[in-house]
Structure 1
Amino acid sequence: MTLTWISKPFTDLTLRELHDALQLRAEVFIVEQNCAFQDIDGQDAAAHHLLGITPEGQLAAYARLFAAGQCYEQVSIGRVVVSPAFRRYGLGKELMRTAIAHCEQLFGAQPIKIGAQQYLTKFYQGFGFEQQGEMYLEDGIPHIYMLRA
């Protein structure tokens, strides 16, 4: 599946892009994972938003990218999500490769920190991330901090 990747600061997002991103995040992080939490956390305005768009114009994959000091001391990637309708095409791997590349283009070659759901540890290790510290609960879901040097 071929996606068009777009990375934009919050102020450049169209209303449709913002709507689709928030809808996808709610679909997966709130409904699918059955987790009541405040997804709109006040950090969207500081992020670059990475959108993977299908040829038909559907949002298939999404992540937020942050400069060092905005979310953590390091550059960071968050809200990594692939639409349930587009899973099993390897888009999670493509999304992470693209997110890392866009972080390097936007912020230079720097360490990248993530707060990952613990069950995805091996997935992120495949991109050079290493566990930092112990498991912690975020909204009732086990997470770990991971760093890519």
Structure 2
Amino acid sequence: MRWLSDVEGCSFTCSFPTDQKVRCALNLLRIGAKDWWRLVTGSYTDDQRAAVTWEKFRDLFRAHYIPRVEHKQLSQEFSDLKQGTESVKEITRMFTKRAMFCLEFATEQDHMTRYLSMLKTDIHQFVSTQRCDTMLDL
């Protein structure tokens, strides 16, 4: 997931058009990942390979590199996450790390709602009284 995020960051920084993201990513694949891609697209024509969208590439990459069992476990950890003795900084780090694997919480509003629900009651009550329009504000 971090690798995908790095590729997205690189394509943003370099202002790649959306249709060039996959080409950028393919140049960053190494060893086994290059072999995996050759295997996935071995039966594709050049036109079919060129037509692979970033979303399709990302879905294929996730399906291969994040086993279902691990994805399910990380999703469950995200759902079960509650602040105990952790500081706000620590629980936020834990939340952020797990959130990238939980695509069902796709919108910022979803993340904000989930984040608030896992905070200790006193912190939740304090934060709830603040005007927070974004996850960063929260």
More strand by share: 1
TM-score (norm 2): 0.27
When Rg is computed on C-alpha atoms for both structures, the one with the higher figure is 2
TM-score (norm 1): 0.26
